[in-house]
């Protein structure tokens, strides 16, 4: 009977090892999927960061163009109509140039009653 018990025990160990290997393989597949999903997230986050930087640069260009229009004497109301932007967007873009050290342009009127950039 001892031989049978040893054989059964060995068979049990082999079954346990086989089952553990199956579970380990499943876990390895899951870990792979987790790493791929996280990697996809980080790739998208990096791309988003690059796009945000590009959008910010474009907004600065737009703000500089608005500054030029203001320097040319265009009132804020006309600028908003000319560029098809809201007064709030005009203020936001003017704020970008103000944050770069050009506070005079940012404080100009947005209601359309001036905005000639007289502070120069």
**Which one has a higher pLDDT value, 23 or 99?**
23
16/22 Cα distance (integer angstroms): 10
For the chain, how are helix, strand and coil distributed in percent, rounded to 5? 80, 0, 20
Q: Is the pLDDT of residue 1 over 60?
A: no
Buried b / exposed e along 53-92 (16+ C-beta atoms within 10 A): eeeeeeeeebbbebbebbeeebbbbebbeebebeeebbbe
What is the pLDDT at residue 119? 38
- The confidence band for 103, taking pLDDT boundaries of 50, 70 and 90, is very low
58/93 Cα distance (integer angstroms): 10
What is the pLDDT at residue 8? 74
Summarize the confidence of residues 58-84 as an average pLDDT. Answer: 97
Q: What angle do CA 3, 7, 10 make, to 5 degrees?
A: 140
């Amino acid at each position: 009977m001892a031989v049978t018990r040893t054989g059964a025990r060995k068979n049990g160990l082999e079954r346990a090892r086989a089952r553990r290997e199956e579970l380990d393989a499943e876990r390895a597949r899951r870990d792979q999927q987790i790493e791929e999903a996280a990697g996809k997230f980080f790739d998208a986050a990096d791309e988003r960061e690059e796009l945000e930087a590009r959008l910010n640069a474009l907004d600065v260009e737009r703000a500089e163009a608005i500054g030029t229009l203001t320097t040319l004497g265009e009132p804020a109301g006309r600028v908003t109509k000319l560029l098809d932007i809201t007064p709030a967007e005009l203020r936001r873009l003017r704020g970008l140039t103000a944050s770069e050290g050009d506070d005079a342009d940012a404080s100009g009127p947005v209601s359309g009653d001036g905005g000639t950039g007289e502070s120069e």
